[in-house]
Amino acid sequence: MSETSTFEIAEYLDSPDAMLEYLELAMEDENPDVFIAALGHVAKARGMSQVAELSGLGRESLYKALKSGSKLRYETVQKVVQALGFRLALEKSDAA
């Protein structure tokens, strides 16, 4: 009998460009859980311990904050995004 393994997106986020593109796509989704999950995947790819240290958050707190369904505060988003080496930016939409 063959075994299947769980797909782990973090294994494929192997460059800053791939991580950035993944986060940008996740931000386009209306469901905030999609972006929170994407932040968690990128943090895992970078190393949760490193991201926790750079963001000033505890490792366990970081895992809890980045799980699906969490009510992530803007301040926490900023800390995590900066720890990942990115920044949030706005741009004019076509609808405006």
Residue 84 scores a pLDDT above 90: yes
Share of the chain above pLDDT 70, in %: 98
Segments making up each domain of the chain, as ranges: 14-83
Confidence at 93, pLDDT banded by 50, 70, 90: confident
Confidence at 19, pLDDT banded by 50, 70, 90: very high
Using an 8 Å Cβ cutoff, are 18 and 85 in contact? no
30-77 pLDDT, tens digit per residue, is 999 999 999 999 999 999 999 999 999 999 999 999 988 899 999 999
Confidence at 96, pLDDT banded by 50, 70, 90: low
